[in-house]
Chain A
Amino acid sequence: MGTKSIMKASALLAAAIVLGFLTVQGTYALWNKMVPVGAGTIQAADFRVSLTDLSTGVPIDMTDSAGTSALVSLKPTGSPSPGKPAYAGVRISNVTNAGSDFAVRASTGDVSITNVAPGLSGLLSVNMQAVPIEKTNCSAEDFAGISSSGSATATISKNSSAVFCFQILMTGDAPGGGSARVDVPIIVNQL
Chain B
Amino acid sequence: MNKMTKGAIATGVGVALLLGGGGTLAVWNDSVGTDAGTITAGNLDLEARSGVWTSAHDPSTEIDVKSYKVVPGDVLTYTQTLDVTLAGQRINAVIEVIGDTVTDFEASNISVRNLQLSDSDGNRIAQIKKSGEVTASASFRFSPKTGDELGKGRDDVEAVYDFSKVQYKLRQVAP
Q: Which residues of A contact B (CB under 8 A)?
A: 30-47, 63, 67, 96-102, 190
A33: contacting residue among B46, B66, B68, B76, CB under 8 A = B46
Q: Do most interface residues of chain A lie in helix, strand or loop, or is the interface mixed?
A: loop
Complexed CA–CA distance, A44 and B72 (Å): 9
Q: Are B154 and A99 in contact (CB under 8 A)?
A: no
B97: contacting residue among A32, A37, A45, A47, CB under 8 A = A37
Q: Are A98 and B71 in contact (CB under 8 A)?
A: yes
Complexed CA–CA distance, A4 and B172 (Å): 48
Q: Are A42 and B65 in contact (CB under 8 A)?
A: yes
Q: Which residue of B lies closest to A102 (CB)?
A: B71
* 11 A–B contacts, CB within 8 A, in A order: A30-B173, A35-B82, A35-B168, A36-B168, A37-B168, A39-B166, A42-B70, A44-B156, A45-B157, A47-B154, A190-B71
Q: Are A36 and B167 in contact (CB under 8 A)?
A: yes
Inter-chain CB contacts under 8 Å: number:
136
Please give, as numbers and ranges, the residues of chain B lying within 8 Å of A35 by CB-CB distance. 46-48, 82, 167-168, 170
Q: Which residues of B contact A (CB under 8 A)?
A: 44-48, 50-51, 53, 55, 57, 63, 65-74, 76, 78, 80, 82, 91, 93, 97-98, 105, 115, 136, 138, 140, 142, 147, 154, 156-164, 166-174
Q: Are B70 and A43 in contact (CB under 8 A)?
A: yes
Please give, as numbers and ranges, the residues of chain B lying within 8 Å of A47 by CB-CB distance. 71, 154, 157
Complexed CA–CA distance, A41 and B138 (Å): 13
Please give, as numbers and ranges, the residues of chain B lying within 8 Å of A38 by CB-CB distance. 48, 50-51, 80
A42-B65, A44-B158, A47-B71 given as contacts; is B169 within 8 A of A37 (CB)?
no
Q: Are A39 and B163 in contact (CB under 8 A)?
A: yes
Complexed CA–CA distance, A96 and B78 (Å): 24
Minimal beta-carbon separation of A51 from chain B (angstroms): 16
Minimal beta-carbon separation of B63 from chain A (angstroms): 6
B69: contacting residue among A44, A63, A67, CB under 8 A = A44
A38-B50, A41-B161, A97-B69 given as contacts; is B154 within 8 A of A33 (CB)?
no
Minimal beta-carbon separation of A170 from chain B (angstroms): 35
